[in-house]
Every structure is written in C-alpha cells, then in structure tokens.
Amino acid sequence: MVNSELPDGLQVIYKPGPRAHEYGEAAANLYSGCPHGCVYCYVPAIVHRTRIEFQQVVPRYGLLLKLVNDCRKLQRALFRGRVHLCFTCDPYPAMEQAVGLTRNVLEMLHRHGIKYQVLTKNPTLAMRDFDLYLPGDRFGVTLTCDNQASSSIYEPGANDPAARIAALGYAVSRGIETWVSLEPVIHSTETLVMARFALGAGCREFHVGPDNHCNSRKFGVAWADLVTELTDMTRARGARLLVKEDLQKLLIAAGRSDLSKGAL
C-alpha cells in the first residue's frame, strides 16, 4: 500500500510534532546548531544551549549511515510523503559548501524514491543543488524583513532579503516548485512587502502563522488585517495561502473564521 505514514524504528527521519506537522509528514535535521543567530529562534532553549553555543555548527554524527537505513525502511513501506529539511537547523550553513552533507542527503533520498522539501535562509548556497530537484521536490525560503538593515538585527547570519527573492525566481525559472514561510511575522508591513516580491518572482505557495515564542506578541500583529491582505494578494495571483492551525484558532476566536483557511 502506498502511504504517507512513517514506519517504526527510524533514527534520523521523524514525524514532526503538532506545531510542525503542517509543513510535511516527515522531517530530518542534518546539522547540530545554526549560524544565522536569529533573535527569535526558539531552538537553543529546546536543546539547552546558549545562543552563542548554538551558532557553533557541526554535522550530526553518523547521520548518513543512519539515514540510509531509514531510507530503506521508507522505501519498503512505500512512503510517498515529503521529508522536510530542516526544523532545528538550516540545511545550508556555510560549512555545507565544503562538507556537502545536505547534497549527499538529497541524493540519498532520491536513490530511494523519496521526495523532499527544503526551507533555508541561505539560498545562495542552496542554489548549488538545484540540479538535483525532481518533480515533487520543493524549494522554500523564510521571508521576514524587507530590508538588509532590519534583517541584520533579527537574523544577522542569514542571506539578505533580496538574495532570497532572487533564489525563488531562479528556482521558478528552472521549473522547481517553490514555497515561502512567512514566519515569524515581526512587522506586518515588511511581511506584506516580501510576499509581494515573492509573488512577483513566481512563488505560488505561502505559509503564515503566529510566532509562538516572542516577536508576534511583542509587536502586536493585527492578524485579521494581515491575513485579509495576504488572502487578497495571493488570490489575485492564483497562489495558495496556508494559515497555520495556531493562527486559525486566533482568527476564529476573534470572530474571523472566514479568514481561517486562507486562499486555496
């Protein structure tokens, strides 16, 4: 039977938790740590490391050997979902240029007939692997700030916003399916600007949700207004807007259940 359920006994690939499952049926984290230094990142607290310690990136020990066993199990189970890369790290830290771990992982997934989706803030390096993408694979970027000055405050180690938009456009030109995560929302106006740029680059799927850890509440995001504008904007371009479940609940509680599903 062809399915999207994960078999038991996996070591690297796992089923995302309740707040992450909307991104995909499976995920894998390839590196320990992330160099971007995002002030809104929740992962250091989860893995009990200081933010400085978390910026020290190392490949996960023995990952490829464990992953090949996982892939064989998924292949036998006829798994047909996507593997999301990554939640607790970026699949393209600077060291990936020399190490090539992510590229090896993408190749291994394909050898076993498994699709993947990438989410990165370092698309300049990620573009190196665009030759590996097949139908069903997806390339995504996180869009937050609409200018380098703001980005350097909130995510100082990441590629600048213009580079992320350029990478989306290049992926589209190569026939690669693209998507955007509009999370966290730091300033609604900047989120809307970046969404417009991404639409102009040809992206046709957007995910939006509340930041459950810091900035959204700090800046008092007017969620109904934001989702209304995003819905109108994406619908006009024939794009898809997915409103994450946590945000759906906020909208329903505010009496705006009409906005809770976004534009499909």
Residues 12, 29: Cα–Cα separation, whole Å: 7
Q: Find the farthest-apart pair of alpha carbons in the chain and give their distance in angstroms, rounded.
A: 51
pLDDT value at residue 211: 67
Q: Which of 72, 104, 119 is the last residue of a domain?
A: 119
- Residue pair 241/208 in contact (Cβ under 8 Å)? The answer is yes
**Residue in this structure with the two tokens 């969404």, named with its chain if needed:** 195
CATH of the domain at 152: 3.80.30
Give me the domain span that covers residue 230.
121-264
Do 112 and 130 lie in a common domain? no
* Size of the chain in residues: 264
Q: What pTM was computed for the model?
A: 0.93
pLDDT of 217 above 80: no
36-92 confidence digits (pLDDT tens): 999 999 899 989 999 999 999 999 999 999 999 999 999 999 999 999 999 999 999
Do 139 and 44 lie in a common domain? no
pLDDT of 25 above 60: yes
Amino acid at 19: R
Do 242 and 134 lie in a common domain? yes
pLDDT of 249 above 90: no
119-148 confidence digits (pLDDT tens): 999 999 999 999 999 999 999 999 999 999
Strands (E), the chain: 26-27, 31-32, 58-59, 82-85, 115-120, 138-142, 177-182, 205-208, 240-243
- Residue pair 80/3 in contact (Cβ under 8 Å)? The answer is yes
Q: What is the mean pLDDT of residues 102-123?
A: 98
pLDDT value at residue 258: 82
